[in-house]
């Protein structure tokens, strides 16, 4: 149901933005310059929302480059009333979930995702450790498979560890997740069948039977 509502709101925003663009172009002369005035804060807000979802903070920050605070707040209240912007904690959480899901698909770590959410004035997420570890191992598998293939466990040395660590930290993974990956990689390297990225189910089972998923700071 929520996806249908979001889709409907998105279509309404794009339709409104299209009408806004038509009105704006009508106010231009033959040279392409505006003949009078400028877009209102509401029109600019519709343009922003037609491209992608924005948080109220993002909208305010972008409108502040051009408009006065009173006009900005009027536009934000107007968009909130139309449900184009979230107006309560539940709405902010839903928007944070949608944005974080997009970053999850791009295999970004929780630290990266939460930094992006904070900048947008949205609540942070707390993904399961299994999900973070699975993403990190999949990335390492894709990036370093040749380097790890058939390498004996004892040969996974400092140089290899540094490469993996730097790569995962650059993707926004928490240091505790990176340490877990550095524990897991040598086990997989020594596998006679070659490197295999463990599934989330196998990680849950391993934790249940003694493989620690948490590392003290």
Span 180-193, pLDDT tens digits: 998 887 766 555 44
> Cα–Cα distances in Å, from 188 out to 23, 148, 207?
61, 8, 16
Report which DSSP code applies to 122. Answer: -
Pair (42, 96) in one structural domain: no
Which comes out higher in pLDDT, residue 58 or 214? 58
Q: Confidence band (pLDDT; 50, 70, 90) for 201?
A: low
Pair (77, 8) in one structural domain: yes
Q: What is the pLDDT of residue 159?
A: 83
The pTM for the full model equals 0.68
Domain boundary residue, one of 20, 51, 81: 81
Q: Counting beta carbons within 10 angstroms of the beta carbon of residue 96, is it exposed (0 to 12), middle (13 to 18) or buried (19 or more)?
A: buried
Pair (97, 153) in one structural domain: no
Pair (173, 199) in one structural domain: yes
Out of 4-18, 36-50, 56-70, 98-112, least confident range = 4-18
Inside any domain, residue 11: yes
Q: Counting beta carbons within 10 angstroms of the beta carbon of residue 148, is it exposed (0 to 12), middle (13 to 18) or buried (19 or more)?
A: buried
Q: What is the pLDDT of residue 194?
A: 46
Tell me how far apart the alpha carbons of residues 77 and 74 are, in angstroms, rounded to a whole number. 5
Inside any domain, residue 217: no
Inside any domain, residue 60: yes
Q: What is the pLDDT of residue 45?
A: 95
Q: What is the pLDDT of residue 33?
A: 33
Q: What is the pLDDT of residue 145?
A: 74
Inside any domain, residue 124: no
Q: Which domain holds residue 101?
A: 89-119
Domain count, the chain: 3
Inside any domain, residue 213: no
- Per-residue pLDDT of 26-62, as tens digits, reads 444 333 333 345 689 999 999 999 999 999 999 999 9
The angle that helices 69-81 and 41-51 make with each other, rounded to 10 degrees, is: 50
């Amino acid at each position: 149901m929520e996806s249908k509502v979001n889709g409907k709101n998105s279509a309404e925003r794009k339709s409104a933005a299209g009408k806004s663009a038509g009105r704006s172009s009508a106010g231009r002369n033959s040279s392409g310059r505006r003949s009078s005035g400028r877009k209102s804060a509401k029109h600019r807000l519709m343009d922003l929302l037609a491209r992608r979802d924005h948080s109220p903070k993002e909208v305010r920050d972008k409108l502040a480059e051009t408009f006065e605070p009173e006009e900005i707040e009027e536009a934000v209240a107007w968009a909130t009333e139309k449900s184009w912007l979230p107006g309560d904690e539940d709405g902010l959480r839903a928007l944070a979930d949608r944005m974080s899901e997009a970053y999850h698909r791009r295999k970004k770590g929780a630290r990266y995702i939460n930094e992006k959410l904070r900048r947008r004035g949205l609540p942070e997420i707390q993904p399961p450790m299994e999900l973070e570890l699975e993403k990190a191992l999949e990335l390492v598998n894709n990036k370093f498979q040749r380097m790890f293939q058939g390498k004996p466990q004892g040969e996974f040395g400092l140089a290899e560890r540094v490469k993996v660590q730097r790569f995962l930290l650059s993707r926004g993974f928490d240091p505790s997740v990176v340490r877990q990956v550095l524990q897991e990689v040598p086990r997989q390297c020594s596998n006679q069948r070659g490197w295999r990225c463990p599934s989330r189910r196998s990680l849950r089972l391993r934790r249940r039977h003694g493989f620690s998923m948490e590392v003290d700071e």
